[in-house]
A and B are shown apart, each in its own frame.
Chain A
């Protein structure tokens, strides 16, 4: 309930933040939304010597789609900003589907998308959506900026590829070339629970033909599961009962669930399969209605 003592800095620019992190030699943690870090400080699971609070850096609270259709999410964009977006469902439906399922509504006013991704909790919702859509993190350090592909970003539970003197300034999720479709389903026993299993599916359609498909899973392994290759069996096809069955079987096969008090590994694998099927079936039915 009571954090350890720490030094505290509140830089007013990204450059200042980087300089402080650089001097700290790895003993500092970046604080954005704080909805993951502060609970860890309170339980004393984390005890950094210094906290670098980036909430007072102006110009980081944006989210917008650029001319090429790519979504840029600034480091201080809160979960609720995405949940309340009027346009996200049109451009990035997978994220739109996930937005309201992150934690609970009060945490969402404060927690940030980028912060959540940097926290790298294997059960994190946003990582799964980024992994399913070739997202990348833009990191800024003393030597300038670099893009880190989501696949290379998470090294292990709560460990990322960010150097100790780097700040993640934005996340980028590419847009679809054709028609974006997607879904996110999460089995939680109640709002705010960690997922028993969750599935992010993203499709890029050319008419009703799938040009690109992405999929990632959370809660069914020690890390976010990259199921992009498994779901690639949909590429070049349309959504039919057969193609949907094939895809859901393939994705379920790459899950790495563990038995625990939320369920057996077989159960969690079955949920993955069921959810993939439901997302795709729902998309197929929506397509038919639209047609």
Chain B
């Protein structure tokens, strides 16, 4: 869908900005941004997509994970201008208005979240894993999620949530577990 207006990030006098266009959750968005603006901040403050969270300042925790062209990246360690011409998927883009993505369902079914702060990043990293490996082992899941920190769950239920989702996705495709 083409945007009917240009979103403008308010610059402070004389500060050069750059116009970039990216697709966010399937929707084309054009923005004027300072080059130093981090992608995480563009998503959160610029586009009010606050599901992407900021949990550290050393690229360690993964709470800011989004999918860039289908691959998980830490949006706090990317400049917004670098998303120019690319596809960004945030948690708000998972599932549809009427239906949750199996990963989202799995996290609820298997108690894969408590405070919910790491959850969007965890789910997107999990989604990316399942798209490349539809039948992961527990070790595969733990390895793929080792860039996402959680303080509440102890990870065991997160692993169960992902395996639950994997099974559902295989069943939906008509494959057996």
* B78 in contact with A38 (CB, 8 Å): yes
* B147 in contact with A51 (CB, 8 Å): no
Q: Does A158 contact B (CB under 8 A)?
A: no
* B57 in contact with A42 (CB, 8 Å): yes
* B35 in contact with A8 (CB, 8 Å): yes
In whole angstroms, how far apart are the Cα atoms of A265 and B79 in the complex?
A: 39
* B147 in contact with A8 (CB, 8 Å): no
Q: Does A10 contact B (CB under 8 A)?
A: yes
Q: Does B34 contact A (CB under 8 A)?
A: yes
In whole angstroms, how far apart are the Cα atoms of A31 and B78 in the complex?
A: 10
Interface string of B48-84 (1 = CB under 8 A from A): 0000001001111010010010011110111101101
In whole angstroms, how far apart are the Cα atoms of A43 and B38 in the complex?
A: 13
* A107 in contact with B35 (CB, 8 Å): no
Instruction: Known A6-B36, A7-B35, A106-B65; judge A39-B146 contact (CB<8 A).
Output: no
* A110 in contact with B58 (CB, 8 Å): no
Interface size class of B (residues with CB under 8 A): 20 to 34
In whole angstroms, how far apart are the Cα atoms of A173 and B12 in the complex?
A: 48
Q: Does A1 contact B (CB under 8 A)?
A: yes
In whole angstroms, how far apart are the Cα atoms of A105 and B144 in the complex?
A: 6
B77: min CB distance to chain A, Å = 5
* A104 in contact with B77 (CB, 8 Å): no
In whole angstroms, how far apart are the Cα atoms of A269 and B54 in the complex?
A: 38
Main secondary structure of the interface of A (DSSP, over half): loop
CB-contacts of B62-118 with A (<8 A): 62, 65, 68, 71-74, 76-79, 81-82, 84-85
Instruction: Known A10-B81, A106-B74; judge A35-B143 contact (CB<8 A).
Output: no
Interface string of A2-35 (1 = CB under 8 A from B): 1111111010000000000000000000010011
Q: Does A191 contact B (CB under 8 A)?
A: yes
Q: Does B18 contact A (CB under 8 A)?
A: yes
Q: Does B16 contact A (CB under 8 A)?
A: yes
In whole angstroms, how far apart are the Cα atoms of A290 and B36 in the complex?
A: 54
Q: Which residues of A contact B57 (CB under 8 A)?
A: 1, 42-43
A212: min CB distance to chain B, Å = 33
* A106 in contact with B125 (CB, 8 Å): yes
Q: Does A91 contact B (CB under 8 A)?
A: no
* A105 in contact with B146 (CB, 8 Å): yes
* B79 in contact with A5 (CB, 8 Å): no
In whole angstroms, how far apart are the Cα atoms of A161 and B155 in the complex?
A: 44
Which B residues lie at the A interface, using CB under 8 A?
A: 15-16, 18, 34-36, 38, 54, 57-60, 62, 65, 68, 71-74, 76-79, 81-82, 84-85, 125, 143-148
Question: What 15 additional pairs, Cβ within 8 angstroms, besides A53-B82, A107-B74?
Answer: A2-B38, A4-B36, A5-B15, A7-B16, A8-B18, A38-B59, A43-B57, A56-B85, A104-B146, A106-B65, A106-B72, A106-B125, A106-B147, A107-B59, A192-B147
22 A–B pairs (Cβ distance < 8 Å), ordered by A: A1-B57, A2-B36, A3-B36, A3-B38, A6-B35, A6-B36, A34-B78, A35-B77, A38-B38, A38-B59, A42-B76, A43-B58, A55-B82, A104-B146, A105-B72, A106-B73, A106-B74, A106-B148, A107-B59, A107-B74, A109-B68, A191-B146
Which A residues lie at the B interface, using CB under 8 A?
A: 1-8, 10, 31, 34-35, 38-39, 41-43, 51, 53, 55-56, 80, 103-107, 109-110, 191-192
